[in-house]
Amino acid sequence: DQQVKQNSPSLSVQEGRISILNCDYTNSMFDYFLWYKKYPAEGPTFLISISSIKDKNEDGRFTVFLNKSAKHLSLHIVPSQPGDSAVYFCAASGNDYKLSFGAGTTVTVRA
Amino acid sequence: KAGVTQTPRYLIKTRGQQVTLSCSPISGHRSVSWYQQTPGQGLQFLFEYFSETQRNKGNFPGRFSGRQFSNSRSEMNVSTLELGDSALYLCASKSLFSAYEQYFGPGTRLTVT
């Protein structure tokens, strides 16, 4: 049973514009959320995270928003750059510290 | 500091065979987790080892097993391989100071024919 869902398998965006990636979760016990980025032939790398006590976290061009009541989070990338083309995974964890991952969204940034 | 390393990077096996994958975590990391990545399924958690003990386990059949050695290196074994076991197997390590952030290796691409 997929507890973390990324319903958009792909996203194409113009360079310089905003990329918005969405993620929904079903387990109300999740209290920590992360985004990972993955290039082909490499393992995922940590991008940004947010605790359930916050509703927004920013790190440079990356901002994650959390809406606990809707069990929804999103990742905003502004401005999008060609190097941002990758697969992005949303992950969530509860007090067992196990990470549950979504299926991923492939982002393509067009020049 | 060297990252997480996994060997081999690519492997082709036949149905019914068994396979062992290896993972060396970042120096000083004592937690090692294994994930299976298949198209459309994301990363599915297999198990986590900490100080040679399995601490968490995902919903995989008993054909999937693992172990961790005293130097924190970990191995994952899959017995009686099935076609559906074809996937990218990722290993991740975590430090004592991070409850959630994991550092991933490049993965082992297993193809079962």
The band of A1, judged by pLDDT with boundaries at 50, 70 and 90, is low
Surface of A (89-108) touching B: CB under 8 A: 89, 91, 93, 96-104
Name the least confident of A2-11, A35-44, B33-42. B33-42
**In the predicted model, what is the mean pLDDT of residues A63-89?**
97
Name the closest residue on chain B to residue A90, using Cα atoms: B42
Angle B95-B30-B36 (CA atoms, 0-180°, nearest 5)?
90
The alpha carbon torsion through B96, B55, B7, B83 (nearest 10 deg) reads: -150
Nearest neighbour of B90 by CB, restricted to A9, A43, A96: A43
Angle B93-A97-B75 (CA atoms, 0-180°, nearest 5)?
35
Mean model confidence pLDDT for chain B: 94
Q: Which residue has the tokens 């976290």?
A: A57
Residues of B with Cβ-Cβ distance to A49 under 8 angstroms: 100-101
The predicted structure's pLDDT at residue B1: 65
Nearest neighbour of B42 by CB, restricted to A97, A98, A103: A103
Name the least confident of A93-97, B5-9, B57-61, B84-88. A93-97
